[in-house]
């Protein structure tokens, strides 16, 4: 099948590619950002560079007008406000870097305004739906035991999926019932497991992990038949499979169980600061979105059960 030309990666000059990579290297050294975040910056800057290149301009020579034209074109093509805001954030960091390094005399992104973003509520699952999801894996098989342990751990701890699949065996302490997690920016936090999740993980370690490894070595806690760490993409394929098997109509996203963890804690009386610490949020304002989810649940309970609801 012939390749679709529209889907081919843009061809940029070696100088432009080198400039973007130099910026990303500096960003990684200064901020210790994840590979996914750096990839997003690269994608945003390559899109801008392609737009400018098609108009005979370069990243270093771009002015405010060119940047506005790029953002306008993105919106006209149907880009979401959140994607446009992220692209603007990438631009701002990039041009601050060029200014600091003496590569430009003025920052063309300085007076650009980000599009207004609405407060989107994270999709979650009800407690009954989570129970159905947790009953979907077959614990009589090694893969089923592994997937059950991963689901139980994800729901019990609120880990990011990237944190779960990258978790080394040595960062698990079943005796103390905690995990040592290095989150975004290598921020360290201790997360309690809970008894049910701890039992599921222990059974996986005793009965399933040795069968999957077959004497081979792997540092990751959760492994595949090929004795490698489970990937984020593969795990979410499994979750969607189990969601369908459990008859869950809600569309599952990479953060669904993390959202359920936070929402259910708040619904059962946990304070916002505790949830913030467990989720590894730097700012309490990031966690506050879950108060809206919990408030919606309380309103629904009031409507259904109060005589004047």
- Which tokens is 38 given? 């750096």
- Which tokens is 6 given? 């529209």
Contact 68, 27 (CB under 8 A): no
How many of the other CB atoms lie within 10 Å of CB of 149? 25
Residue 184 annotated to the active site: yes
Residue 255 annotated to the active site: yes
- Which tokens is 107 given? 């920052």
Residue 160 annotated to the active site: yes
Residue 258 annotated to the active site: yes
Which is the catalytic residue, given 42, 255, 292, 297?
255
Which is the catalytic residue, given 160, 209, 259, 264?
160
Residues 6+ apart with CB under 8 A from 180: 171, 173, 188, 189, 190
Contact 53, 97 (CB under 8 A): no
Which is the catalytic residue, given 95, 204, 242, 258?
258
Which is the catalytic residue, given 184, 232, 240, 297?
184
- One-letter-per-residue 3-state SS of 147-163: HHHHHHHHHHHCCCHHH
Which is the catalytic residue, given 146, 209, 264, 281?
281
Distance of CA 37 to the CA centre of its chain: 10
Residue 97 annotated to the active site: no
Would you please indicate which residues are annotated as catalytic (active-site) residues?
Answer: 160, 184, 255, 258, 281, 290
């Amino acid at each position: 099948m012939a390749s679709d030309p529209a889907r081919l990666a843009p061809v940029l000059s070696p100088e432009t590619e080198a400039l973007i990579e130099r910026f990303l290297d500096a960003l990684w050294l200064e901020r210790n950002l994840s590979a996914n975040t750096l990839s997003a910056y690269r994608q945003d800057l390559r899109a801008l560079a392609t737009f400018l290149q098609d108009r005979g301009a370069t990243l270093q020579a771009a002015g405010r007008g060119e940047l506005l034209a790029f953002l306008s074109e993105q919106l006209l093509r149907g880009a979401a406000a959140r994607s446009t805001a992220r692209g603007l954030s990438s631009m701002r960091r990039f041009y601050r870097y060029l200014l600091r390094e003496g590569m430009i005399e003025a920052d063309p992104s300085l007076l650009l305004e980000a599009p207004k973003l609405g407060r989107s509520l994270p999709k979650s699952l009800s407690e009954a739906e989570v129970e159905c999801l947790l009953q979907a894996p077959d614990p009589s098989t090694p893969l089923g035991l592994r997937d059950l342990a991963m689901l139980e751990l994800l729901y019990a701890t609120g880990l990011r999926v990237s944190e779960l699949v990258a978790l080394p065996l040595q960062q698990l302490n079943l005796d103390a019932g905690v995990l040592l997690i290095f989150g975004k920016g290598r921020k360290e936090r201790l997360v309690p497991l809970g008894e049910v999740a701890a039992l599921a993980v222990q059974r996986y370690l005793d009965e399933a992990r040795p069968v999957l490894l077959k004497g081979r070595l792997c540092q990751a806690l959760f492994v595949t038949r090929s004795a490698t760490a489970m990937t984020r993409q593969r795990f979410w394929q499994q979750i969607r499979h189990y969601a369908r098997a459990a008859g869950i109509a809600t569309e599952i996203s990479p953060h669904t169980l993390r959202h359920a963890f936070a929402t259910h804690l708040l619904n059962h009386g946990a304070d916002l600061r505790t949830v913030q610490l467990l989720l590894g949020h730097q700012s309490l304002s990031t966690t506050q979105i879950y108060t809206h989810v919990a408030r919606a649940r309380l309103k629904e309970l009031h409507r259904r059960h109060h005589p004047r609801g």
